[in-house]
A and B are shown apart, each in its own frame.
Chain A
């Protein structure tokens, strides 16, 4: 569960767990988080928590709500965001350590449905414009580490590789294989593609009647992993694949 750590002049005042779906912040006593300070409006801001996401909304306060120094109207809170209300700082922290959930747990597509006639749904729709959903009671709460963080891992092999043209008019020219896909050859005549993958570089035939020749042997339709100093022959031009140092 996420929590807020309230501080004033770098001194921590208190910690609050976001246990309720709606947590109000303001100067008046009926707020869930009361901040008794004249710079804070009576009803200053609202935090709605749906599953693992918390949404912060400024309720038209006089002095505004800042997140990480920027004024906001609506904002999805991210781990370690600092919300400023008056001179008070509220640090938002999620308590889901990344990587603790098993892969199978968080990938399943889940459906959100609006149970009819729920007061909370109306409240939610009111707060966030045309949103028509509220979490169905059957949806289980699961911790979901952001996918893209993992996606960035090991997308490319450690070593950079290049192709050097050996014959023909551009002999001696070098081409670094920095992109995920590098095409070689002449469109309409013969084209092959070299794909850069986590475990190496692979060459595959794309178009043309003839298949590329690697070290004197013609490829089939399958991708072929390239090794250092392999010689590729394509549309009558020979070229060498090699790994670069560093």
Chain B
């Protein structure tokens, strides 16, 4: 059996996200909580083709059918996108053990309430998934963008680097 993957690389005020399967990246910016990655799953394709609504998807029996996974074929195509990053953003990388058990609204509420203490927020999310049934293992990574991290390219920066 294969596994699924979500990775994020932060560089120059941007985040590059790669994912395979139904592991996800979410972003909390201000009060807006959004799923950034789109699952490679049968369910997502059903939603995209308009066959079922997101509401119906919650009750689908085929939540665990992914259309792409790591470890099945010798090679797998990773979906990669780059997004701009703002100071204050909080990013959540998680496995389907979290997103299948806990509603997006509850994840949002937890992150919103506990944004001052991310280690506690992560523990709380895992706890929430386990309290809701915890049918699968749960992986959660939280990232807070503390400040801008643009790469300096001006002549002054190069000069300073020279003297360091």
Contacts and interface: CB of A to CB of B under 8 A. Distances in A.
Interface in B1-17: 1-4
Nearest to A179: B109
A183 B120 CA distance: 13
Interface stretch (A16-24, A147-155, A161-169, A237-245): A147-155
Contact of B61 (A53, A108, A131, A198): A53
Nearest to B2: A111
Nearest to B112: A181
Contact of A108 (B64, B72, B100, B106): B64
B101 A151 contact: yes
A128 B51 contact: yes
Nearest to B49: A129
Interface string A30-42: 0000000000000
Interface string A123-135: 0000011111100
B116 interface: yes
Contact of B109 (A108, A181, A191, A198): A181
A133 B72 CA distance: 15
Contacts of B61: 52-53, 144-146
Given A133-B42, A151-B101, A109 B128 contact: no
Contacts of B117: 205-207
Interface string A204-222: 1111000000000000000
Interface string B1-43: 1111000000000000000011000000000000000000010
B62 interface: yes
A75 B51 contact: yes
A54 to B, nearest CB: 11
Nearest to A149: B59
A149 B112 CA distance: 26
Contacts of A103: 135
Nearest to A55: B51
A116 B106 CA distance: 41
A94 B62 CA distance: 14
A75 to B, nearest CB: 7
Most buried by B among A133, A151, A197: A151
Contacts, number: 125
Contacts of A198: 131
B126 interface: no
A227 to B, nearest CB: 20
B72 A113 contact: yes
B60 A181 contact: no
A112 interface: yes
A235 B135 CA distance: 39
Contact of B136 (A107, A133, A197): A107
Interface string B65-78: 11111001000000
Given A51-B65, A128-B49, 19 more contacts: A50-B42, A51-B62, A52-B62, A53-B60, A107-B64, A107-B136, A109-B4, A109-B22, A109-B96, A112-B65, A112-B67, A130-B45, A131-B49, A133-B45, A146-B61, A150-B135, A151-B133, A181-B110, A193-B124
List the 9 closest A-B pairs by CB distance, nearest first: A207-B116, A151-B132, A111-B69, A144-B61, A206-B117, A181-B113, A107-B135, A151-B133, A150-B133
15 contacts: A55-B51, A103-B135, A107-B64, A109-B2, A111-B68, A111-B69, A113-B67, A128-B49, A128-B51, A147-B100, A149-B59, A180-B106, A191-B116, A193-B124, A207-B117
Interface of B: 1-4, 21-22, 42, 45-46, 48-52, 56, 58-69, 72, 96, 100-101, 106, 109-110, 113-114, 116-117, 120, 124, 127-128, 131-133, 135-136
